[in-house]
Structure 1
């Protein structure tokens, strides 16, 4: 059985976004690098007051190497616009930096598969380093996986969506983060609005409302 060391082994000595993004391309902290086409690091200004954290890159992100450029990313762009938030001022990233997927019948189409708890934990040092560099005032977790990575493994979106929370105690006390103590708010991932079967428009509007709430905390 192969044991992977986690991303901590691959962090650069110099912590800035360019150094982190460059180092992340060589990350072998978990097994996801083997099938993914690219590492997809975060993007945005290093002084962003708001950070958006999703689950993992999707198919289009994996092929392009850029976060939130697929269907969910385009919906997120619209939600940010409707919420009065300029995407160019926001830092966007994911809890996991490689695409995890299964092959559909025939072997061509790649279908999103939720990352495991071990993979999320292995990748978390990249996310912690991004928080340390950007030092946002508010972190918006897009979906339960992102929230579990930052708030705690037992987080449930159905119970705590829209609440103003804090990073989990382990992260707040880490040597890397030091004085970083942003407000944290969780909402649905934009892909959930895309998949909504009953009322897609209401799901989208609820995402906009949560983003407006987050912006109001700045």
Structure 2
């Protein structure tokens, strides 16, 4: 249930940011209106010196309830694909471009709603701070929202997925979001595409 009032997260950043202080500060973020209806901030998780940072769109219903990223059905798809691609989970940090669940109500159910450009921009300081703190070798962008958040709104996952791209002092690889596999008419084909892109990221991270 997005609202206006996107003042941005920068004012909530701690003075000397590491992952611990960022997580603590993000729990109090009111940089956009999403905090009003979400249960909690869902910050990233993983090692402070992760080789890979995986960025999704936003937490879903289960993630919002548990306070952890990628613990729902899409997370299980991602875990399987990472294992098959040869990316060790202990070398990955998972997070989202937006840290609060954006949704609409349908009866008693909370239905995912794509975050607005203003909400994505408002939350960007958290993602930038995570990347600065971790200093990964490869950033894997899961879906259009994550890719456009970091690579610009003209970026098209459909055309540029699976390519190794320079990103500051790291590399970036974009692919579909694991939830797209669950929605696809042909799940096997969609999963094969996700796996192929993650294998590209694995190769970039080991070179």
Normalised by the length of structure 2, the TM-score is: 0.95
Asked if the contact 2:161–2:174 (Cα under 8 Å) also holds between the matched residues in 1, the reply is: yes
| Runs of 4+ off more than 4 Å | none
Rounded Cα–Cα distance in structure 2 between residues aligned with 1:3 and 1:94: 20
Rounded Cα–Cα distance in structure 1 between residues aligned with 2:193 and 2:66: 29
Asked if the contact 2:141–2:173 (Cα under 8 Å) also holds between the matched residues in 1, the reply is: yes
**Structure 1 alignment gaps of length 5 or more:** 173-180
Rounded Cα–Cα distance in structure 1 between residues aligned with 2:126 and 2:71: 20
Q: 1:204 and 2:191 equivalent?
A: yes
Deviation, 1:4, is 3.5
Partner of 1:175: none
Asked if the contact 1:151–1:166 (Cα under 8 Å) also holds between the matched residues in 2, the reply is: no
Q: Alignment partner of 1:57: what SS?
A: coil
Deviation, 1:162, is 1.0
Partner of 1:176: none
Deviation, 1:2, is 6.1
- Map 1:98-113; keep pairs closer than 5 Å: 98-104=100-106, 106=107, 108-113=108-113
Asked if the contact 1:103–1:110 (Cα under 8 Å) also holds between the matched residues in 2, the reply is: yes
For residues 41-75 of structure 1, the C-alpha deviation after alignment (integer angstroms, 9 at most, x for no partner) is 00000101111000000000000000000000011
Cα distance 1:2–1:159, how it changes in 2: closer, same or farther (>3 A)? closer
Q: Alignment partner of 1:128: what SS?
A: helix
Q: Which moved more, 1:16-25 or 1:157-166?
A: 157-166
- Map 1:55-66; keep pairs closer than 5 Å: 55-66=57-68
Asked if the contact 1:100–1:112 (Cα under 8 Å) also holds between the matched residues in 2, the reply is: yes
**Structure 2 alignment gaps of length 5 or more:** none
Rounded Cα–Cα distance in structure 2 between residues aligned with 1:4 and 1:157: 26
- Map 1:187-198; keep pairs closer than 5 Å: 187-197=175-185
Rounded Cα–Cα distance in structure 1 between residues aligned with 2:105 and 2:141: 27
- Map 1:1-218; keep pairs closer than 5 Å: 3-104=5-106, 106=107, 108-167=108-167, 172=168, 181-197=169-185, 199-218=186-205
RMSD over equivalenced CA pairs, Å: 1.2
Deviation, 1:184, is 0.7
For residues 80-134 of structure 1, the C-alpha deviation after alignment (integer angstroms, 9 at most, x for no partner) is 1111111122000000000000111x2x111100000000000000000000000
Deviation, 1:159, is 1.3
Asked if the contact 1:164–1:185 (Cα under 8 Å) also holds between the matched residues in 2, the reply is: yes
Q: Alignment partner of 1:103: what SS?
A: strand
Rounded Cα–Cα distance in structure 2 between residues aligned with 1:87 and 1:121: 28
Rounded Cα–Cα distance in structure 2 between residues aligned with 1:120 and 1:165: 21
Rounded Cα–Cα distance in structure 2 between residues aligned with 1:165 and 1:126: 22
